[in-house]
Amino acid sequence: MGHGASRSGDSGDSGGGAPPPPPSRLSGLRRRLRLRRHRSGHDAAAAAPPQLKGIDAEDFAGIARIEIVGAEMGFKDRWFACLSIGERTYRTATSDHTEKPMWKSEKKVVLETNGPHIARISIFETNRFSRSNLVGYCEIDLFEILSPDSENNLEELDLFDPSSSSTIVGKISIICYVEDPIETQKSFARRVLAIADFNEDGQLSQSEFTDLMTAFGNQLAVNKAEELFKRADKNGDGIVDMDELAILLADQQEKESLISNCPVCGEILGKYDKMNDMIHMTLCFDEGTGNQVMTGGFLTEKQASYGWMFKLSEWAHVSCYDVGLNSGSSAAYILVFDRKSKRLVEEIIDSKIVLSMRAIYQSKFGLALIDTGAKEILQSISEKQGKRMNSVESAKDIPTFIDFFKDQINMGEVKYPLEYFKTFNEFFTRELKPGARPIACIERDDIAVCAADSRLMAFNSVSDSLRLWIKGRKFSIHGLLGMETCSSAWNEGSLVIFRLAPQDYHRFHVPVSGTIESFVDIPGCLYTVNPIAVNSKYCNVFTENKRVVSIISTSEFGKVAFVAIGATMVGSITFLRKEGEYVHKGDEFGYFSFGGSTVICIFEKDAIQIDEDLLANSERSLETLVSVGMRLGVSNREHPEEDVPRLEKCTLAE
């Protein structure tokens, strides 16, 4: 690049006065920085979402670049792809009408040693008005597919039918590689320096480099600019190659921070350490590959697939798509954290049912209905629906039910083939193949496990549950367990809620090993156990619904209360064990008939140390999707020190 900056030609003005001063090179650089911020994406958060926490050096596994090249589908349509990892989802542009869409769209993601590393790629056929249809998907373990030594790792993967993971519907081509940390720093430095390279010849003069450092607004950078430039200008001609200067700049940035604000999004740096600053700025910059960068800012692939009607509803504040405790009109979408894949997923629920639940459970008018006969109506509906689901005619609803929930019902793990089930309820209470739900640390009775395939909320105390989740008017342990079984030992105990949705495996299992002391039936209503009702201040779902309380006496956790709660459409709770029987953790305990339902386990105060990841999600009012047999927590009773595996730091087998 030449020494001189671009200047306006001399010209007089009609008034004969002095011409306006030409814009300075420094102001030009600052304009270019601002332009980069506007061009970085549809918003700054999409370009480089701020990290929720700093990454420790020992946890930083690298920056992965994932490029979705194209796909081969079985029919012609307009297609787009979504990439989901952790709590972030990105999507490509929409392809032309073809059966072989090409995107060549990429995204960089940070990999942490103990963080999310299962990426899901989903292919949708478009519907620009409402929502698009999921046609195929694949899941990849980035730790397995990526290698620090790989330069251009092209992979061709099978796409599976969401309704049947054994059916292949197409293929997708992706390129993945992990950037070398040193090269990442150099690449970042080159991109910063390129802002001042107006004629793109790969060279900078000293004055241009100094102006660039000044534009960053850091006095240390200004002071170091001359020193760095002279170290790179080995022949003393006042012009240096940008690659050489980038090496020195990256090295200096590692020692002392020269950049106070991210040049792309403007975020203040230095909140954590230099490594985190480098990660943030690297993700902000387009690395100049010539490919299109995927659009970000989505929480789930479902959100990314919604059309303009959904976006209009958000703009009009009719609905809210977010993580955490929602109420009223904001409770239109339920997001849960999948513990196995470590990513957010949207729970599938019919929109008409959402509207009806909001009308009943989130308004004073709905409360009036409940108080003036709605309880009896719900009871009658549940009884009639229960009889219908036990009829032979109901079996024809099974295929439609499976199709509606698509990839959330895995028929490959069901014990019997579809034709075995003669009624809908037989399918609803289906058994699984042996080994489909491995039990964590099965030989250790001091480790409790999850009791159901469900969405879990865990709290160290009842007061925490009231603060973060249960918003009923008069919820209490005494009200939940009833006069006959309640004990003061549970008053400040730990509370674990397992909420089952209709698509789940509806058999519940024993979370701890011990002896069954008693069963107590408590009659009640059949409200829904959906969060829309649980989060409502107008009713007490858990203490008013029909339920059965079982007490399990254990050597490791003291007495544990196991409460099976019925819900709308659930007319039957069936236990398969008897009083006085000794049960092992993971043993089948019983099942719910058709509908949603809930299990609540109450531990005595300080009896259990619940796993940290479950408590952390619950602190955010975020349900965790778990399976039977996953680790729940460890007994607080003293034992010889042993190395107990932590699930949040493991990868679960299929």
C-alpha to C-alpha distance for 195 and 31, rounded to whole angstroms:
10
Cα gap 421→582, rounded to integer Å = 31
C-beta of residue 45 within 8 angstroms of C-beta of residue 297: yes
The residue assigned the tokens 């259990």 is 608
> To the nearest 5 percent, what fractions of the chain are helix, strand and coil?
30, 30, 40
The number of CA neighbours under 13 Å toward the Cβ of 440 is: 27
CA–CA separation, 94 and 136 (whole Å): 16
Q: How far apart are CA 633 and CA 585, in angstroms?
A: 13
Q: Which residues contact 336 (CB under 8 A, 6 or more apart)?
A: 344, 345, 347, 455, 622, 623, 624, 625
Sheet holding 447-449, edge to edge: 447-449, 631-635, 608-610
Four-point Cα dihedral 500, 501, 506, 510, nearest 10: -10
How many other CB atoms are found less than 10 A from the CB of residue 42?
Answer: 10
CA distance 545 to 531: 15
**3-state secondary structure (DSSP) of residue 308:** helix
| Residues known to be catalytic | 453, 509, 597
- Reading the block at residue 14, the tokens are 């009609």
- Partner residues linked to 466 by β-bridges: none
**242-255 vs 181-194: helix axis angle to the nearest 10?**
120
The torsion angles phi and psi of 556, rounded to 5 degrees, stand at -100, -30
Q: Are strands 588-592 and 547-553 parallel, antiparallel or unpaired?
A: unpaired
Helices (H), 10-101: 25-39, 44-47
Residue 66 to residue 82: CA distance in whole angstroms: 12
Closest among 609, 509, 622, 489 to 556, alpha carbons compared: 609
Residues found in the chain = 654
Torsion angle (degrees, nearest 10) of CA 93, 95, 100, 106: -20
CA dist 145 and 451 (Å) reads 33
Give the three-class secondary structure for 264.
coil
Under 8 Å between Cβ of 418 and 398? yes
Indicate the pairing of strand 573-575 with strand 547-553: unpaired
Q: Which tokens hold the place of 13?
A: 């003005």
Sign of CA dihedral 522, 527, 529, 534: negative
DSSP class per residue in 39-63:
HTSSSHHHHSPPPSSPPPGGGEEEE
DSSP assigned state of 268: B
Encoded amino acid at 543, one letter? T
Rg (CA), the chain: 30
Asked if 546 contacts 522 with a C-beta cutoff of 8 angstroms, the reply is: yes
DSSP 431: -
Residue 454 phi, psi dihedral angles, 5° rounding? -170, 180
Quick count: other Cβ atoms within 10 Å of Cβ 54? 14
